[in-house]
Amino acid sequence: MVRHYLSGEDNEIVGIWGMGGVRKTTLLKLINNSLLGEGNLGFDLVIWKDASLNGNRISGFLRDKHFLLLVDGLFKEIDLNRVGIPISNRSNVAAATYKHKLVFTTRFESEAI
């Protein structure tokens, strides 16, 4: 189901939530592994990222790439612009030209990006 969302044009962010121990991280690993090789859905990069990483170092690099970002264990809201992720701005030329997607796991249903 997540791969279906990732292959579509309408979904930029997919959240996977559930209590501890329900295999959210395992699902994220399966998504990552399914995108290796020919089945990569057109992404140049699939990235595992620490949500606290300073975005200044990577925003320029990601802006002109098709990428899928996998963030595991998100426990608080993050500002995607602050961490350097060019997502969620359809008027942005980069967002319109390149495929930028994010999948995250959290224990909280109400967690929002």
Q: Is pLDDT at 111 greater than 60 in this prediction? A: no
Please count the other Cβ atoms lying within 10 Å of the Cβ belonging to residue 66.
16
Q: Look at residue 45 in the predicted model and tell me its pLDDT.
A: 85
Q: Is pLDDT at 90 greater than 70 in this prediction? A: no
> pLDDT digits over 17-73, tens only?
999 999 999 999 999 998 888 888 888 888 877 555 556 667 778 878 889 989 898
Q: Look at residue 60 in the predicted model and tell me its pLDDT.
A: 78
What is the per-residue DSSP string for 67-101?
EEEEE----S---TTTTT---S-TTSHHHHHS-EE
